């Protein structure tokens, strides 16, 4: 085993942050009902007996390994072990502090629990980076992680924690809004690809067009999202009022239509700019040779330029997808639906658990999309280098 006597500084920082948070910040917050301020409980009060020993043992082990052990697989196992232990510890506290059959009491994970989870998650991500797994291995790991997490949720492991309580009372709407969220994020991406890829090719072929198009798209990107959602309400509302057909196909000042239009506008810049950059990166000699050998314009694009530009274009797709998954949350403000509905409803009701019900799946979706696209980018660029 490649054990070194040297101290790992990054591991040290994460361990310090996680340790201080666990020791000083509340592990869970006990609330008699969902909106009153709760009573913070430290980790030693929240956890008892064998559970406390097991959770703290796993966390201390993860910390020690993070600081003193260089071996990446060991670091990965230790940090993941700590992560699971803290999550299960929170679940155990939820079970312990909820009276049997009670549906009003809320046990929410506290700042200490969240910070420890983040620190351990980052340690695991760092260990993974050091392992340099191939793209397919990364996808497999992501699938395994989500399978385990979903199995635990389905099994009811976390049912007594506040977020899951909110889920229980919103289960029907959650499925609907989650689907709407994905539809808006991926639908606007699909529209941006349909328009942006040809536009990018055109900008590559016609240099004079490039500055104008990229400049306008850059300008769109500088408009704050809430402002853009608001700006679009008036013209689309007017359109719906003036053209009955438009209203019948779902165009309206509020709802999904302006959200899709705004997300589409934000998506265009990364798609077009990366298409242009990707095509510009293709060696002019390869294109010249291809044309000289008798490939038509279309064949040159499909067989030479496109495959060579694809990794850069996919990088644009990743930017768009992660950006859109976040922006859809804001679109809930204009009635577009999506997981942002829970966030804003939660803010309105000062029910932070409901906010989390909207925010946590959004974050998970964004991370998963990013990992999947990173893997695709590597696969697409595999042969070149």
Partner 1 sequence: MIVLEGLTKRYGTTAVVDAVSITVERDSITAIVGTSGSGKSTLLRMINRLVEPSAGRVWIDGRDTADEPPHLLRRRIGYVIQGNGLFPHRTVAQNVATVPRLLGWSDARIAARTVELLEALQLDPARYAHQYPHALSGGQQQRVGVARALAAEPKVLLMDEPFGALDPILRAKAQEDLLAVRRRFGTTIVLVTHDIDEAFRLGDRIAVMRHGRILQCDRPAALLTRPADPFVAELAGRGDRALRLLSLTTAGDAAEAVPADGADREPVVRIRADATLREALSDLVWRGATRGVVVDPDGTVRGALRVDAILAHGRSC
Is 173 among the residues that bind partner 1 (CB under 8 A)?
no
Q: How far apart are CA 182 and CA 124, in angstroms?
A: 27
> Which residue blocks in 69-161 are alpha helix, DSSP H?
72-97, 111-131, 135-155
Can you tell me which of 49, 224, 244, 384 binds partner 1, judged by CB under 8 A? 384
- The smaller minimum CB distance to partner 1, of residues 99 and 207, is found at 207
Report, in Å, the least distance between residue 274 CB and partner 1: 18
DSSP state of 250: T
Can you tell me which of 41, 59, 85, 308 binds partner 1, judged by CB under 8 A? 308
- The smaller minimum CB distance to partner 1, of residues 173 and 291, is found at 291
- The footprint of partner 1 on this chain (CB under 8 A) covers a number of residues equal to 21
- The smaller minimum CB distance to partner 1, of residues 249 and 293, is found at 293
Is 378 among the residues that bind partner 1 (CB under 8 A)?
no
Q: How far apart are CA 116 and CA 167, in angstroms?
A: 23
Burial class of residue 305, CB neighbours in 10 A (0-12, 13-18, 19+): buried
Question: How far, in Å, are 103, 121, 295, 332 from residue 134 at the CA level?
Answer: 46, 20, 34, 37
Report, in Å, the least distance between residue 314 CB and partner 1: 14
Report, in Å, the least distance between residue 378 CB and partner 1: 14
Is 99 among the residues that bind partner 1 (CB under 8 A)?
no
**Which residues, numbered 225-284, are part of the site for partner 1 (CB under 8 A)?**
283
Q: 228 phi and psi, to 5 degrees?
A: -65, -45
- The smaller minimum CB distance to partner 1, of residues 155 and 385, is found at 385
Provide CB contacts within 8 A for 219, sequence distance 6+.
none
Can you tell me which of 159, 183, 299, 378 binds partner 1, judged by CB under 8 A? 299
Can you tell me which of 296, 302, 347, 348 binds partner 1, judged by CB under 8 A? 296
Question: How far, in Å, are 145, 154, 182 from residue 151 at the CA level?
Answer: 10, 5, 21
Provide CB contacts within 8 A for 148, sequence distance 6+.
none
Task: Give me the helix-helix angle, 340-348 and 306-331, nearest 10°.
Answer: 30
Can you tell me which of 291, 333, 368, 374 binds partner 1, judged by CB under 8 A? 291
Is 293 among the residues that bind partner 1 (CB under 8 A)?
yes
Is 19 among the residues that bind partner 1 (CB under 8 A)?
no
Can you tell me which of 70, 295, 333, 367 binds partner 1, judged by CB under 8 A? 295
Is 194 among the residues that bind partner 1 (CB under 8 A)?
no
Q: 139 phi and psi, to 5 degrees?
A: -60, -40
Is 385 among the residues that bind partner 1 (CB under 8 A)?
yes
Is 205 among the residues that bind partner 1 (CB under 8 A)?
no
Burial class of residue 2, CB neighbours in 10 A (0-12, 13-18, 19+): exposed
Is 379 among the residues that bind partner 1 (CB under 8 A)?
no
Report, in Å, the least distance between residue 375 CB and partner 1: 18
Is 169 among the residues that bind partner 1 (CB under 8 A)?
no
Is 117 among the residues that bind partner 1 (CB under 8 A)?
no
Report, in Å, the least distance between residue 367 CB and partner 1: 30
- The smaller minimum CB distance to partner 1, of residues 237 and 307, is found at 307
Nearest to 271 by CA among 211, 366, 198, 333: 198
Token pair 């920082």 is found at 13
Q: How far apart are CA 174 and CA 166, in angstroms?
A: 10
For 203, the token pair is 């900008």
Residues found near partner 1 in the complex (CB under 8 A): 283, 285-296, 299, 303-304, 307-308, 383-385
């Amino acid at each position: 085993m490649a054990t070194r006597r040297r101290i790992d500084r990054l591991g040290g920082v994460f361990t310090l942050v996680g340790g201080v948070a666990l020791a000083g910040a509340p592990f869970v917050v006990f609330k008699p009902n969902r909106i009153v301020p709760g009573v913070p409980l430290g980790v030693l009060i929240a956890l008892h007996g064998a559970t406390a020993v097991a959770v703290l043992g796993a966390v201390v082990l993860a910390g020690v390994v993070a600081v003193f052990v260089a071996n990446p697989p060991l670091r990965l196992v230790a940090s993941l072990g700590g992560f699971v232990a803290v999550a299960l510890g929170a679940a155990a506290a939820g079970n312990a502090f909820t009276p049997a059959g009670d549906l009003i009491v809320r046990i929410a994970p506290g700042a200490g629990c969240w910070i420890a989870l983040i620190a351990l998650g980052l340690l695991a991500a760092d260990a993974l980076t050091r392992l340099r797994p191939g793209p397919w291995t990364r996808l497999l790991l992501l699938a395994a992680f989500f399978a385990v997490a979903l199995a635990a949720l389905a099994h009811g492991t976390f049912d007594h924690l506040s977020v899951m309580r909110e889920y229980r009372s919103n289960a029907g709407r959650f499925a609907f809004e989650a689907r709407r969220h994905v539809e808006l994020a991926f639908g606007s991406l699909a529209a941006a690809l349909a328009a942006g890829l040809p536009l990018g090719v055109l900008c590559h072929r016609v240099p004079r067009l490039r500055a104008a198009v990229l400049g306008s798209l850059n300008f769109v990107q500088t408009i704050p999202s809430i402002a853009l959602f608001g700006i679009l309400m008036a013209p689309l509302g007017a359109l719906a009022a003036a053209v009955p057909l438009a209203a019948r196909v779902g165009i309206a000042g509020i709802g999904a239509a302006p959200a899709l239009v705004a997300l589409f506008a934000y998506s265009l810049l990364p798609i077009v700019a990366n298409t242009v950059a990707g095509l510009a990166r293709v060696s002019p000699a390869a294109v010249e040779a291809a044309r000289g050998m008798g490939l038509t314009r279309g064949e040159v694009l499909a067989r030479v330029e496109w495959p060579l530009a694809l990794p850069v274009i996919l990088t644009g797709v990743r930017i768009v997808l992660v950006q859109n998954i976040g922006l859809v949350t804001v679109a809930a403000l204009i009635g577009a639906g999506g997981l942002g509905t829970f966030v804003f409803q939660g803010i309105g009701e000062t029910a932070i658990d409901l906010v989390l019900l909207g925010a946590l799946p959004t974050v998970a979706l964004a991370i998963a999309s990013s990992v999947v696209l990173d893997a695709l980018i590597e696969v697409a660029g595999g042969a070149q280098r």
